[in-house]
Each structure stands twice: as C-alpha cells, then as structure tokens.
Amino acid sequence: MPFMVNANRFINRVAIPLAIVAYGVFLWIDHRNQVSASYNNHIPRIQKIGRIDGLLVGGSNAVYGLSAEFLSSHTGMSWYNASVSGELGTIERHKNFIQDLSARIDRTKVRYVVYSSIDPYRPGAIALAKSRENLGIKPTISLFGYILHQPSFRHSEFPKRNSVGDMVFEKGDCDLTGEYVVTHERDDEDTSVEFLASYAIFLASVFPNASILIVLPSEYYGTLSFDDSIFERTLNIKFQSVLSANHSKNTITKIMFQPPFSSIAQTCNRKFHANEDGRLYQTQNLIKFLREAAVR
C-alpha cells in the first residue's frame, strides 16, 4: 500500500507536470520551426534575385504544381516561388510570413501575386485553420512525422527547392503505386468568398501595385464526371461583389479555376500535388490565363 501511495504521488507531482512541460516545449519547437525553416530558407534566395516582378504564394499544391523558373523564362519577368507546405498551419502565421518576406524586397515593384491554395474550397479546411489559430494547442505534425520530415532533423530543406523557390523533384518524392480516393467537394460558397476576399485585400495591402490572381489548382478526379461551371460563376460573382464593397483600390483581382489533371500520371503523392509533368501543365495553363486576361 505505501508503494502505491508513493507511486501515485510521483505520477501526480512529477510525471504529469513533466509531460505537460515536454508537450509545451514540443509545441513551441514545432510552431517556431514551421515558420523559421520556411522563412530562413527563402530569405537568402530571394535576396540574391533582387527585383521580384511576380510572386507565387500558397500551399503545397503551389510547391509541387507551379514553377517560377518556367514563368520567368516565358514571361520575361522575374518570378519567385514563396509557397510553403500547409501554409504554416494557420492563416495568421502565413500572413506574417508573407509580410516578413515582403520586407526583404521592393514590394512596390511586384506586379503579380498568385495565391494558389486548395484550402478555400475543401470542406472544413478554413474552419480547421481558424480553430488551430484560436486554440494553439495542437501541433501541426506528429512527433514521428516531425523526426522524419523537419529540416532540423534532416539537416536539409524538405522538399528541396532551387534558387527561385521551385521544388526539385527527387527519387521517392512521388508515389504512384495506387489510385487515390477521388472526390469532387466544395466548401460553402459564402465561406470561400469571405476568406478569399479577405486574403485578396491583405495581399493588395502588402503589394500595393500588384495584380492579385487567386488560383483554384488542378486535381485528379479519375473518371468522375461533374460540372463546375455554376460553382465557378457564382463564386466569381459573389467574390467581386464582396471585394468591391470592402476594397476601393484599383488593383485587378481575379479568380482562376485550373482544369483537372487528365491523368494520374501528372500527379505526385496526392490528387492535388503535381509531379514534374503536372507542374508543366499547371504553369502553362497559368501563363495562358495571364495572357488571355491581359492582367496589367
């Protein structure tokens, strides 16, 4: 009996407090590393480039699916890919990252900002990002995943990027051994519109002379048949209405819906992650849209 009492006392007074402290330290390291790894790796590259005409921002679909190098060579302008996987977990953290990055360049010279993200359209994704922001008590990655993928453990950037921020595809990055579960889902239009209008206004405030382009990236749907035209038209109408009511600056802001991938062979490890062929497909589509829209 005395042994049990001492054991319970040890658990309550030592083990539980230590576990709480350890978890708090892991949260702090996780949140700090999510920002610093992305920020510190982008800063030296973007400073070497000098003037930036076009900036790619957004989540992992932009990491995998858009090429600043290809855009630069085919538009005659200087582009940089500042996208980050997971958009750093929360909306506010990603905004802070973009603001910090903009302080390292002449942001008044940026002519285009392309924001490519799947989150504004996936059911519940925006709500999840907001809940993480409000609570701040859940790590963005598991301990096992942290050990496997965090740069501090790997001693290298993950995924590897080149001098203009594009992903460098390496053996093992893409796994096409099985079919993905293909679905066609969209969040509530008003939820998407509210977020997109707010983000467009934020980007316009950071880059005052830039045209803002919001991209719904390509996904692979297999043989699934659907008609997105009504959703696209309604979303555009509502978006422009909310934007004009809340933003008076004369910047051109558009929403672009990229076509689905025609084959699983264009994808990498998720239905909205491109491989090298898929990246070429998406970037060419983006260039075509820019030219046809005659954005500034």
Q: Virtual CA dihedral for 285, 80, 61, 250, nearest 10 degrees?
A: -70
- Of all residues in the chain, the percent with pLDDT exceeding 70 is 74
For residue 123, what is the domain's CATH number?
3.40.50.1110
| pLDDT on residue 106 | 93
**Nearest one of 276, 205, 190 to 241, comparing CA atoms:** 190
Q: Which helix (H) or strand (E) holds 54?
A: strand 54-58
Give 272's contacts (C-beta < 8 A, 6+ positions apart): 61, 65, 118, 217, 218, 219, 220
Within the chain, how many helices (H) and strands (E) appear?
Answer: 11, 5
Question: pLDDT tens digits, residue range 185-223?
Answer: 888 888 889 999 999 999 999 999 999 999 999 999 888
Cβ atoms within 10 Å of 202's Cβ, excluding its own: 17
| 3-state SS assignment for residue 274 | strand
DSSP 39: H
Burial of 27 (0-12, 13-18, 19+ CB in 10 A): middle
- Is 52's pLDDT higher than 80? yes
Q: Virtual CA dihedral for 247, 248, 251, 252, nearest 10 degrees?
A: 70
- Residue with tokens 């898929």, as numbered in its chain: 278
Q: Which helix (H) or strand (E) holds 112?
A: strand 112-116
CA distance 205 to 247: 10
CA distance 173 to 175: 7
Containing structural domain, residue 258: 2-293
| 3-state SS assignment for residue 210 | coil
Amino acid at 77: M
Question: pLDDT tens digits, residue range 122-162?
Answer: 887 778 877 766 544 444 444 444 344 444 444 456 678 99
Helix axes 189-206, 91-102, angle to 10 degrees: 20
- Residue with tokens 């302008």, as numbered in its chain: 77
What average pLDDT does range 90-113 have in this prediction?
Answer: 90
Of the listed ranges 92-101, 171-180, 286-295, the one predicted with least confidence:
171-180
- pTM, full prediction: 0.79
Of the listed ranges 12-21, 97-106, 113-122, 252-261, the one predicted with least confidence:
12-21
Whether the CB-CB separation of 210 and 251 falls below 8 Å is answered with yes
Helix%, strand%, coil% for the chain, nearest 5:
55, 10, 35
- My answer on whether omega of the bond before 159 falls inside 30° of 0, hence cis, is yes
| Residues found in the chain | 296
| 3-state SS assignment for residue 215 | strand
Helix axes 91-102, 16-49, angle to 10 degrees: 40
Number of domains composing the chain = 1
Ramachandran bin of 134, using left for φ above 0, alpha for ψ from -120 to 50, beta for the remaining angles: alpha
DSSP 167: B
| pLDDT on residue 215 | 95
Whether the CB-CB separation of 159 and 81 falls below 8 Å is answered with no
